[in-house]
Amino acid sequence: MTALVPARGRPVKPLRRDKEDRATDALRYVFGPVASGRLGLSLGLDLLGARICTFDCLYCEAGPTDALTVARKPYVPAAKILAELADWKADGNDAPDVVTLGGLGEPTLNSECDAVIAGAKEIFPDVPVAVLTNSSLLSDPDVRAACNLADIVLPSMDTLVTAEYARLNRPHAAVGLDALRQGLLDFRAGYQGSLFLEVLLAAGVNDSEENLEALRTFCRELAPTRVDVVTLSRPGAHAGATAVSKAVLARFREALCPAAQSLVAAADGRDASRTSGTGEGHGPAALAARRPDALAAAIAASVRRRPQTVAVLAAALGQPRDAVQAALDALEQGGAVRRRQEGREIFYSG
């Protein structure tokens, strides 16, 4: 097999396993596809394997951060991630709409994220690669160079008010707000791909007029491809983070993304996929047929990174809702997932 070559010219040869061994493996670093309102069917790559991040955000759907750090290193070697991605493709799965670097923490903490991006492009040459980031490390030229390899970068900027930043994002002491802001601007200056800025609002935390005006000025300077203003729609990591009202969402959206209103699928900030609930996606339709444990393994890997409802999982995985519910029931009985009711919906998480 041809070696995968990252931006810095270091060859990365994916570790390969024979097909019989792969059939019994649980997915460790590849998860989904996940139905995303911004990206379509997104196949996720977890570059950390644990909740390791530069932030410990109140709202994080992955749960509380276990290791708060700014240390970059190969937490999961690129070769392992790319081997599993190649195996996932070899198992006959349809190509996703996008391959996304994300997972349980901040993906740019992995010092081999450039190799992962380059390798994913070789495995899926016609599929764009996206990077989800909280923007905290874009002040580092090496991180900017790695993200430059991606087709889409989705950075976050929730607030430009120092007190709100400390309360909502709970950053590592080394990540100052001014440096974060400037790092994102520096990255934008040299980036030719699509930049989707996300602002997440929590009631009574960062929904102030001061923040709105600061973000308005910042968005004019940054000139992102699009801006998505959202609020909590899944269980957060900590108490104290609740959704803002529809009126607040509308006010921020009108100020920050007037040209992108048609791209916002639902007025309450939820993914468009959540409203479909049909269980008919263009994901791996033969997933359950190929081996009995495949559907359960895919579900477990997906909800470990992101709490989801039965409807969302069914749509993303291209499976009937009753099959997904049966797999979730079995996983819950075995202690692999847990359920939590939020309003009228039930979310499952790992």
DSSP-derived secondary structure for 208-243: -HHHHHHHHHHHHHH--SEEEEEE--S--SSTT--P
State the Cα–Cα distance between residues 346 and 337, nearest whole angstrom. 12
Predicted local confidence at residue 228, as pLDDT:
93
State the Cα–Cα distance between residues 194 and 211, nearest whole angstrom. 24
Going across the sheet that includes 30-36, the strands are: 30-36, 40-46, 98-102, 129-133, 152-155, 194-201, 226-231
CA distances in angstroms from 169 to 60, 132, 175, 237, listed in the order given: 9, 16, 11, 11
Q: How far is CA 156 from the centre of its chain?
A: 11
Each residue's pLDDT, cut to its tens digit, for the chain (350 residues) gives: 333 333 333 444 444 444 434 433 567 899 888 888 788 889 999 999 999 999 999 988 777 889 999 999 999 999 999 999 999 999 988 899 999 999 889 999 999 999 999 999 999 999 999 999 999 999 999 999 999 999 999 999 999 999 999 999 999 999 999 999 999 999 999 999 999 999 999 999 999 999 999 999 999 999 999 999 999 876 555 777 889 999 999 999 999 976 444 334 333 333 333 222 222 222 233 333 334 466 777 777 677 666 778 777 776 666 677 777 877 887 777 787 788 777 777 877 77
Domains of the chain and CATH, by start: 19-275 (3.20.20.70)
Predicted local confidence at residue 238, as pLDDT:
73
Predicted local confidence at residue 42, as pLDDT:
92
Predicted local confidence at residue 205, as pLDDT:
95
State the Cα–Cα distance between residues 207 and 13, nearest whole angstrom. 47
For the stretch 230-233, contacts whose Cβ atoms lie closer than 8 Å and that sit 24 or more positions apart, written own/partner, are 230/198, 230/199, 230/200, 230/201, 230/269, 231/200, 231/201, 231/202, 231/203, 231/268, 231/269, 232/59, 232/200, 232/202, 232/269, 233/268, 233/269, 233/270, 233/271, 233/274
Predicted local confidence at residue 233, as pLDDT:
76
Which residues touch 66 (CB under 8 Å, ≥6 apart)? 50, 51, 52
Instruction: Tokens for 120, please give them.
Output: 């994913």
Predicted local confidence at residue 182, as pLDDT:
98
